[in-house]
A and B are shown apart, each in its own frame.
Chain A
């Protein structure tokens, strides 16, 4: 079977001492970043991307992927022990995770979340293995019209998921598009918004903006909210409990929960713009609806923790499908991954798996290994991460600023980029404060140039006629799917959020 032999090839590349070391380092770093409140996969990837420069592409991509889903694993620890989600995708884990900890079951909760994350992540990778080649095959027929429509779909689905603040989401996207136009127009060679600056001729580089928005912006916001003033006195001490390990009943009663939410999470993750947050909320709602004892949810029901945890890790895997096979990132995290690929001269898309099989399958193989490594780290390194949570934010904050600054500088040895990062941090803070969407900005910054190029190519092919979008079958399919998502996703989002709101008011 071709898939099997490709996977074996990928494993042979992934299982080398140095690559395993990168995998382990990435997983640990990802979990550490995930544990810091407010910092999720996007921030982790943006801040740690400069660390991978100088590595070979296979090792670097493996490390980045490990950081990506390591951050998902780490974000739940604070959800359970502190009732503070590590990032938005772990909000649903607080609904039953913290009550479990308060009921003296923090240890079993921590172990079960690791197992659930492992199952969700592994099922997700198996589905990538089976579906990615198929997606790549289908997308080979795509041309510029389809790529333009896919970019539009990615932006629209992200914006509709923002909900009530959709106008601010559109403005955020426009800011991202605007930043993406800075530089030289490829078709005419004319400078756009460079104002005679040699530094801006190359355009605004993605990394300083991402680090500023997600790293510094989040940090400034946390200080504004007073996170640095509150101690960690509210942390649940799990090591004083009688029992650390889950019971047989915990495993048996949640096996179907893990199975169905792996698939649900993966499907939601594939949809550009949907992501792990929606997947986890939907999984929670679905599980509560299906449960024989829905009244137990919100009071320390193990299935209420396992469902969102399985789904968010499966969704993280699902999000790799549009990235690898279409070259379209569906979230801020995968936008950073795409930027990393482009930096190494790789172009994810239909031909990526064919032209770079060692990279594509090395990445997929590393995700199997990564999930195993993270399961072990998640369980046995819990005391280490708990110590990390106890480091006061007022000390952690300045240290994170140092890492962000030096990391940004290390990319191109450019002070201008460093200053851009600080500016993006201040803008990111205000965006966060006033309900804008940094994710939409970053996605637009990456997708904007791709979309513009695709549209101009399309109109060149069609000699200026927009009817090309309805003459091509693939384009019609994409338009249909986009309309379905634009109408259907807000309804699903409302379904997910209604369960979350119910938990918050204790109903």
Chain B
């Protein structure tokens, strides 16, 4: 997984450097440092360092110690968090938060149905009061409200 991540970083660095060399000029028309100067420097440095690290990893014979069971919950949490992002767009701040907490606590805090139900309602209510009423901050609007 570590190697895969490094290759993703390398791909990003290569793409960044490509755009810097192709789309952005090194010098401006007036002969001063142009928009491409710094990105080229950053891109090349990132590519070189990433390749160096990848070579080190490939030379390192030690197998990667990673317990597969430790990934289960974190992947679930990430997927649920991304689902929350979608829910926010569809249902708005309060309802999406209730649904998200209900789903996540059901998965993470198993068998505590009453506790989860109470938390799923009280916490979003508290956060809504804090952000919307007390702080007068923006809360995500529901998509459906655009259709009305």
A interface vs B, CB < 8 Å? 50-51, 53-54, 167-168, 170-171, 174-175, 177-178, 181, 185, 187-188, 190, 192-193, 216, 219-221, 223-226, 228-229, 392, 394-395, 397-399, 401-403, 405-407, 409-410, 412-413, 415, 418-419, 422, 425-426, 429-430, 434, 448, 452, 455-456, 459-460, 464
The answer to whether B138 touches A394 (Cβ under 8 A) is no
| Known A171-B9, A178-B16; contact A398-B100, beta-carbon cutoff 8 A | yes
Q: A174-B13, A395-B105, A406-B139 are in contact. List 19 more A-B contacts (CB 8 A).
A: A50-B137, A171-B49, A177-B38, A178-B16, A178-B46, A190-B24, A224-B73, A395-B119, A398-B77, A398-B100, A399-B119, A401-B77, A401-B104, A405-B81, A406-B140, A418-B140, A459-B32, A460-B32, A464-B31
The answer to whether B124 touches A402 (Cβ under 8 A) is yes
Contact of A220 among B6, B31, B78 (CB under 8 A): B78
Which B residues lie within 8 Å of A418 (CB)?
85, 88, 140
User: Which residue on chain A has the smallest CB distance to residue B82?
Assistant: A422
Contact of B42 among A174, A219, A395, A415 (CB under 8 A): A174
Q: A55 CA to B127 CA in the complex, in Å?
A: 18
The answer to whether A426 touches B108 (Cβ under 8 A) is no
| Known A409-B88, A456-B33; contact A220-B74, beta-carbon cutoff 8 A | yes
Q: A170 CA to B127 CA in the complex, in Å?
A: 38
For window 68-118 of B, CB contacts with A under 8 Å fall at 70-71, 73-74, 77-78, 80-82, 84-85, 88-89, 93, 97, 100-101, 104-105, 108-109
The answer to whether B35 touches A398 (Cβ under 8 A) is no
The answer to whether B78 touches A426 (Cβ under 8 A) is yes
**Nearest CB on B from A226, distance (A):** 6
B135 is an interface residue with CB less than 8 A from chain A? yes
The answer to whether A187 touches B28 (Cβ under 8 A) is yes
User: Which residue on chain B has the smallest CB distance to residue A403?
Assistant: B127
**Nearest CB on B from A52, distance (A):** 9
The answer to whether B109 touches A395 (Cβ under 8 A) is yes
**Nearest CB on A from B107, distance (A):** 9
**Main secondary structure on chain A at its contact with chain B?**
helix
Which B residues lie within 8 Å of A53 (CB)?
135, 137
Q: A167 CA to B6 CA in the complex, in Å?
A: 12
Q: A418 CA to B84 CA in the complex, in Å?
A: 11
Q: Contact string, B29-65, partner A, CB cutoff 8 A, digits 1/0?
A: 0011111011100110110011011001000000000
Listed A/B pairs (30) with beta-carbon separation below 8 Å: A53-B135, A174-B13, A174-B42, A177-B38, A178-B16, A181-B39, A187-B32, A187-B34, A187-B35, A192-B24, A193-B16, A221-B74, A223-B74, A223-B77, A228-B108, A229-B73, A392-B109, A397-B77, A398-B108, A399-B101, A399-B123, A406-B93, A406-B97, A409-B138, A415-B89, A422-B82, A425-B78, A434-B6, A448-B38, A456-B37
B interface vs A, CB < 8 Å? 2, 5-6, 9, 12-13, 16, 19, 24, 28, 31-35, 37-39, 42-43, 45-46, 49-50, 52-53, 56, 70-71, 73-74, 77-78, 80-82, 84-85, 88-89, 93, 97, 100-101, 104-105, 108-109, 119, 123-124, 127, 131, 135-140
| Known A171-B53, A415-B89; contact A177-B42, beta-carbon cutoff 8 A | yes
The answer to whether A192 touches B39 (Cβ under 8 A) is yes
Which A residues lie within 8 Å of B31 (CB)?
464
The answer to whether A406 touches B101 (Cβ under 8 A) is no
Which A residues lie within 8 Å of B139 (CB)?
406, 409-410
Which B residues lie within 8 Å of A422 (CB)?
81-82, 85
The answer to whether B100 touches A170 (Cβ under 8 A) is no
A50, A51, A401, A455: residue with the most chain B Cβ atoms closer than 10 Å:
A401
| Known A398-B100, A419-B85; contact A429-B74, beta-carbon cutoff 8 A | yes
Which A residues lie within 8 Å of B85 (CB)?
405, 415, 418-419, 422
The answer to whether A170 touches B45 (Cβ under 8 A) is yes
Which A residues lie within 8 Å of B52 (CB)?
167
Q: A170 CA to B42 CA in the complex, in Å?
A: 10
Q: A167 CA to B35 CA in the complex, in Å?
A: 26
Q: A389 CA to B138 CA in the complex, in Å?
A: 30
Q: A34 CA to B31 CA in the complex, in Å?
A: 50
The answer to whether A415 touches B140 (Cβ under 8 A) is yes
Which B residues lie within 8 Å of A459 (CB)?
32-33
Q: A54 CA to B133 CA in the complex, in Å?
A: 13
